[in-house]
Amino acid sequence: MEVAIKKFEDLNINELYDLMALRSAVFVVEQDCVYQDLDYKDQKATHVLGYENETLVAYTRLFGPGQYFKNASIGRVIVAPKYRSKHLGHAIMNVSIATLQQRFEIDQIEISAQSYLERFYETHGFKAKGKEYLEDGIPHKKMIKIINTP
């Protein structure tokens, strides 16, 4: 997988369209969840785009401390359905974590994880904090990754 990391203003119109289409296909259509994906947070985010043969197949958006949560965060973690068996979710998470560590002085990363993916995020060092809650009608858990700084 080839990865591009871009600020919102550096995305071209096709990249923006592709990421919105992928997010809509999975988060709205596949998960049958009517919610407002266009939340005006994309302009503050760093976008991590994963491509195979020039097709967007994986994506996350990143926020520095205080841009979304108090801590740095990763959101909109997604892999296109037909590419899920290739472990691209792990690859895009590894790039996302490394990018946050390179760009910000951080000691933790916070995510709002869909509960059914808790074990996936645990493999990346995240631990659930607090009780499960509904976000857009889907069960979620707050999860934190402590960054071990040398």
pLDDT tens track for 50-92 = 999 999 999 999 999 999 999 999 999 999 999 999 999 999 9
Q: What pLDDT is attached to residue 149?
A: 60
Provide the whole-model pTM. Answer: 0.95
The number of C-alpha atoms within 13 Å of 56 and in the hemisphere containing its C-beta is: 21
Q: What percent of the chain has pLDDT over 70?
A: 99
| Band of pLDDT at residue 34, cut at 50, 70 and 90 | confident
Least confident of 3-7, 69-73, 145-149: 145-149
Q: What pLDDT is attached to residue 150?
A: 56
pLDDT tens track for 94-138 = 999 999 999 999 999 999 999 999 999 999 999 999 999 999 889
Q: What pLDDT is attached to residue 6?
A: 98
Q: What pLDDT is attached to residue 116?
A: 95
Name the residue with tokens 């994906």: 37
Q: What pLDDT is attached to residue 33?
A: 84
Residue 112 is encoded by which pair of tokens?
Answer: 């709002």
Identity of the amino acid at 6: K
Which of 31, 8, 30, 32 has its CA nearest to residue 19? 8
Homologous superfamily of 2-106 in CATH?
Gcn5-related N-acetyltransferase (GNAT) (3.40.630.30)
Query: Mean pLDDT across the stretch 13-32?
Result: 94
Q: What is the DSSP string of the chain?
A: -EEEEEEGGG--HHHHHHHHHHHIIIIIIITT-------S-TTTSEEEEEEETTEEEEEEEEE-TTTSSSSEEEEEEEE-GGGGGGTHHHHHHHHHHHHHHHHS--SEEEEEEEGGGHHHHHTTTEEEEEEEEEETTEEEEEEEEE----
Phi, psi (deg, nearest 5) at residue 78: -150, 145
